[in-house]
């Protein structure tokens, strides 16, 4: 279990951070929010190749690692990132926390010193919010074991891949052996990579897929979801008190919003390990934040604008096929609103460019459903 936690910290926090930094992001939160969706998009490329060509899980894992390493080197060279920048996370976090003790950062604490300077409305409310989030993570890990039909299918895909060292060797519904994935396997698994990716993570973590998916992995996704919402709140609300209050209200909505099967909080609080939940609760809010950053604020470099954003979209699309439809719809609305605000068609044209990876995957699926074969299937 300790190995699994350490591997997840390395692959779900350190790796996305390094990807974000290699794209020129020096602020640790921006680096994580950019790197996490990009990680799913980049790793999807060798993963697709792995189960199309019947590579072993071990072989695919090695190739995925090499692709990630090469991408980070290329990104770093293009953005002229110095190696020392990768080790700035801890000092940056330390300085950020240290600002809470600086009276100049909080108008209401002027004239106070020591611990009294910390006790402002925003700081106390933010601490309470963080405690609620930590409680939610602990409760999910120790108490909530939601199992349904999807769980049986998805866990079968992950565990069978780990045990046999091959992707999609058995049909998770019938249990029969699969000799040709194009004719004997559910089409939706042919155009998504989340469960092969989870199988590789399970293999590296050295724990059972059920344990990883229901205990370790959800804590990271919940944390990323709240991080994205914190940054979105900061984008719309420049005053700290308003930002913290909005974040606190959002946390309460997640805590008490389990009144319907279709609410955001049900996905986040009950089965966040599911591919749809990872997309809707973490990846899409991150994509939304970066669309605002790139178009509205202009806080980007060219590599983020023309390569990072499409890879984020690819990450949303390959995690679940619903992401291939809903993520483009979401940024289309953003592009339309920003085009009206700026009185220019450029934002709308840009989001059309960003959604191209998702459109391509959706078209592949439509062609396959209509013809039963892809024109370029022999090349895959």
**The pLDDT of residue 94:** 45
**The pLDDT of residue 337:** 92
**The pLDDT of residue 106:** 47
Burial category of 242 from C-beta neighbours within 10 Å (exposed 0-12, middle 13-18, buried 19 and up):
middle
Residues making up the chain, counted from first to last: 380
Burial category of 286 from C-beta neighbours within 10 Å (exposed 0-12, middle 13-18, buried 19 and up):
buried
Vertex 149, ends 145 and 151: CA angle to 5°? Answer: 45
Q: Other CB atoms closer than 10 Å to residue 349's CB: what's the count? A: 11
The pLDDT tens digits of the residues spanning 341-379 come to 888 899 899 999 999 999 998 888 888 888 777 766 666
**The pLDDT of residue 362:** 87
Residue 321 tokens, joined: 């096929």
**The pLDDT of residue 190:** 83
- DSSP for residue 372: S
**The pLDDT of residue 105:** 43
What average pLDDT is seen over the chain?
A: 84
Whether the Cβ atoms of residue 129 and residue 136 lie closer than 8 Å to each other: no
Q: Residues of the chain whose pLDDT is less than 50?
A: 91, 94, 97-109
Report residue 123: phi and psi, to 5°: -65, -45
Residue 97 tokens, joined: 């926390």
Please give the model's pTM, rounded to 2 decimal places: 0.88
**The pLDDT of residue 107:** 45
Burial category of 35 from C-beta neighbours within 10 Å (exposed 0-12, middle 13-18, buried 19 and up):
buried
The pLDDT tens digits of the residues spanning 56-84 come to 899 999 999 999 999 999 999 988 887 77
Q: Other CB atoms closer than 10 Å to residue 53's CB: what's the count? A: 11
């Amino acid at each position: 279990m300790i190995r699994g936690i350490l591997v997840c910290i390395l692959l779900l926090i350190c790796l996305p951070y390094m990807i974000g930094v290699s794209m020129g992001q020096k602020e640790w939160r921006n680096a994580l929010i950019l790197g996490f969706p990009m990680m799913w998009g980049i790793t999807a490329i060798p993963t697709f190749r792995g189960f199309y060509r019947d590579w072993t899980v071990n072989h695919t894992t090695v190739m995925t690692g090499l692709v990630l390493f090469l991408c980070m080197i290329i990104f770093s060279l293009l953005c002229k990132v110095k190696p020392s920048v990768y080790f700035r996370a801890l000092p940056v976090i330390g300085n950020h926390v240290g600002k809470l003790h600086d009276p100049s950062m909080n108008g209401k604490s002027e004239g106070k010193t020591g611990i009294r300077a910390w006790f402002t409305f925003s700081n106390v409310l933010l601490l309470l919010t963080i405690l609620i989030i930590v409680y939610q993570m602990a409760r999910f890990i120790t108490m909530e074991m939601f199992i349904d039909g999807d769980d049986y299918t998805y866990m079968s895909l992950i565990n069978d891949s780990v045990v046999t060292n091959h992707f999609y060797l058995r049909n998770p519904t019938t249990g029969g052996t699969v000799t040709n994935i194009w004719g004997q396997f559910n089409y939706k698994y042919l155009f998504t990579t989340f469960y092969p990716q989870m199988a590789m993570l399970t293999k590296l973590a050295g724990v059972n897929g059920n344990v990883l998916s229901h205990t370790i992995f959800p804590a990271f996704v919940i944390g990323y979801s709240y991080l994205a919402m914190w940054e979105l709140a900061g984008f719309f609300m420049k005053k700290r008190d308003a930002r913290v209050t909005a974040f606190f209200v959002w946390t309460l909505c997640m805590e008490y919003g389990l009144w319907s099967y279709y609410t955001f909080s049900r996905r986040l609080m009950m089965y966040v390990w599911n591919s749809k939940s990872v997309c809707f609760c973490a990846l899409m809010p991150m994509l939304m934040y970066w669309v605002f950053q790139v178009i509205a604020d202009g806080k980007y470099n060219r590599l983020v604008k023309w390569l990072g954003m499409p890879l984020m979209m690819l990450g949303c699309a390959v995690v679940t096929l619903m992401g291939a439809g809903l993520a483009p719809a979401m940024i289309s609305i953003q592009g339309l609103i920003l085009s009206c605000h700026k009185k220019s068609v450029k934002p709308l044209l840009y989001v059309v460019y960003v959604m191209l990876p998702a459109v391509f995957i959706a078209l592949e699926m439509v062609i396959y459903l209509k013809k039963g074969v892809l024109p370029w299937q022999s090349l895959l």
